[in-house]
Amino acid sequence: MKSDIRHFWELLFAMTEKELRARYKYTIFGFFWLVANPLLQMIIIYFVFSLFIKEPIPNYQYYLFIGLLVWNFFSLSLTKGTPCIVNERSLIKKAKFPRSVIPLSIIFSNLVHFSLALVLFIIPVLFLGTITLAKIPAIFFGLTLLLVFTVGFALFTSALNVRFRDINFFPYPLFRTNLCGYGDSIP
């Protein structure tokens, strides 16, 4: 039993590493994009919403960035996680292993991106005094809920996609909708 759990985690980390390597394999800057992408996104959002678009909400750019981080993590995990079992059918035919490792490896690779972007966001915000250290545990509690929900939904949709291939097309229109807006504007 213990060795099965250990093998599961070893396989999960190996497949997550494979997913990360495959994502940056033919790029010039490679893993530098792990840091550069969220950093550039944060800088652009900060300058656009602090210099050009004056929002009545104080620190709106911070709320927008963290909301985009959460949304990108969830949507990428679902859009890539839904068809992953079907896409890896040749691997499934060759080896016997828990099928849940495939969508979990995609979610974990997205979690690496998300975690790095979150750290790059939290450090400057702590120094600017926008957020206090007392709020950090609440952030991690919310992120744990996000991870559990994402894992559950991705496992569900990837399993459904094996039988009903139309499920693969379900997340795309949903995640392309504009979910940015004020809470007051929701009826």
Domain ranges for the chain: 2-179
Residues 92-150: tens digit of each pLDDT: 888 888 888 889 999 999 998 898 888 888 887 888 777 777 777 888 899 999 999 99
Angle, vertex CA 160, rays to CA 154 and CA 162, nearest 5: 110
In the predicted structure, residue 186 carries a pLDDT above the cut 50:
no
As a whole-number percent, the residues of the chain with pLDDT over 90 amount to 15
Classified as helix, coil or strand, 69 is helix
Check residues 3 and 67 and name the one with the higher pLDDT. Answer: 67
87/103 Cα distance (integer angstroms): 11
Q: Give which of 58, 180, 70 is closest to 129, Cα–Cα.
A: 58
Pair 78, 157: CB distance under 8 Å: yes
pLDDT of residue 155: 92
Q: What is the mean pLDDT of the chain?
A: 80
Give Cβ neighbours of residue 39 (< 8 Å, ≥ 6 apart).
120
pLDDT of residue 149: 94
In the predicted structure, residue 185 carries a pLDDT above the cut 70:
no
Q: Phi and psi at residue 27, in whole multiples of 5°?
A: -95, 155
In the predicted structure, residue 28 carries a pLDDT above the cut 70:
yes
Check residues 35 and 165 and name the one with the higher pLDDT. Answer: 165
